[in-house]
Structure 1
Amino acid sequence: MAIFLRAATVEDTDEVAAVWHDAWHDGHGNLVPAAWRKLRNRENFRMRAPALIPHMIVAVDEAAGAEGNDIICGFVTTEDNSLEDLFVAATHRGTGVAARLLRAGEEQLAAAGVTTAELQCTQGNDRAQRFYEKMGWQAVRPGVQEIDTPDGRQSLDNWIMEKSLA
């Protein structure tokens, strides 16, 4: 498996949206309100992905696609002092891709002068929380993420996690 990291481009939108949709539902599907799950269809992720591209690093598997075409197997985004999103395709979990993406996001934040980085991890997403803790992150306080849905405002409990980058 030959994986390389690079800055995302607009041409990556469809692949990023597919990875994001599948990985989000795998990690969050049983943790979020039904109205939230219903909103998070493939088109929703496709519409939201372009806004993340300028802040995104993708992991590309050089030989995993049909006829040897490269495929995107994960991504990380950063904004301000935060690691915003880290998602890896199920086929590439346990291969070190997530750790490489996380380190790349941390390096991007450190290069921007961030000394203490922050991320939100959904409470109950134990696999993700264990991974972040293994990588040196600590849950420091509870947080809440909210979105508007057809059923009204929905909230999701998170852990605010931090890591010193100094």
Structure 2
Amino acid sequence: MLAKLWYDGWQDAHAAILPAELARARTRESFAERMTGALADVRVIGPRGAPSGFAMLKGDELYQFYVASEARGAGIAATLMADAEAQLSERGVGTAWLACAIGNVRAARFYEKCGWYLARTMVNRLDTVDGPFDLEIWRYEKRLAHR
């Protein structure tokens, strides 16, 4: 269910604004494989079997953040973001970062509303079934309070 939520969310937010070769590499199977490998760093919100959203951490990065389209506008994203930030802080992260696809204005507005700021654009190396893929992204950062 999580991989489906991730795949559907990626299609909704990214398929139209990212290079076609990356979209071809982002198959349903690739999302399932990546999710299986990262489950220890994933927090889910919503009922078992019908997740409303998830956040995946990777080091000092909020690596993935998705909310199901039918759950948007209900405060779930803000709750999930607060939890992700708390987890990063508990890990001792002083400044967290996340990658936002250039052109994903809806996500960028949400991150800014949560106190994240656009630090710069950068090239992010993505792993795909076809090998590494370099993608220019917006890098958002947020200074976290220590717990």
| TM-score where L is the length of structure 1 | 0.80
In the alignment, does 2:9 pair up with 1:23?
yes
Q: Which amino acid aligns with 1:105?
A: A
In the alignment, does 2:114 pair up with 1:128?
no
Of the candidates 11, 16, 21, which is equivalent to residue 35 of structure 1?
Answer: 21
SS of corresponding position for 1:57: strand
SS of corresponding position for 1:129: helix
Q: Which amino acid aligns with 2:104?
A: N
Is the contact between residue 30 and residue 129 of structure 2 (CA under 8 Å) also seen in structure 1?
Answer: no
Is the contact between residue 35 and residue 149 of structure 1 (CA under 8 Å) also seen in structure 2?
Answer: no
In the alignment, does 2:80 pair up with 1:101?
yes
The alignment covers a number of residue pairs equal to 144
Unaligned runs of 5+ in 2: none
Q: 1:18 to 1:116 in 2, by over 3 A?
A: same
Q: Hey, what's the Cα distance between the residues in 2 that align with 1:29 and 1:100?
A: 26
* Structure 1 residues 75-118: Cα deviation after superposition (integer angstroms, max 9, x where no partner): 00112211111011111111111111111110001111112111
Q: Which amino acid aligns with 1:135?
A: C
Q: CA RMSD in A?
A: 1.7
Percentage identity across paired residues of the two chains: 38
Is the contact between residue 82 and residue 118 of structure 1 (CA under 8 Å) also seen in structure 2?
Answer: yes
Alignment correspondent of 1:10: none
Alignment correspondent of 1:164: 143
Q: Hey, what's the Cα distance between the residues in 2 that align with 1:54 and 1:25?
A: 24
Q: 1:155 to 1:133 in 2, by over 3 A?
A: same
Of the candidates 72, 85, 90, which is equivalent to residue 64 of structure 2?
Answer: 85
The alpha-carbon deviation at position 61 of structure 1 amounts to 3.4
Unaligned runs of 5+ in 1: 1-14, 63-69
Who wins on radius of gyration, i.e. which is larger?
1
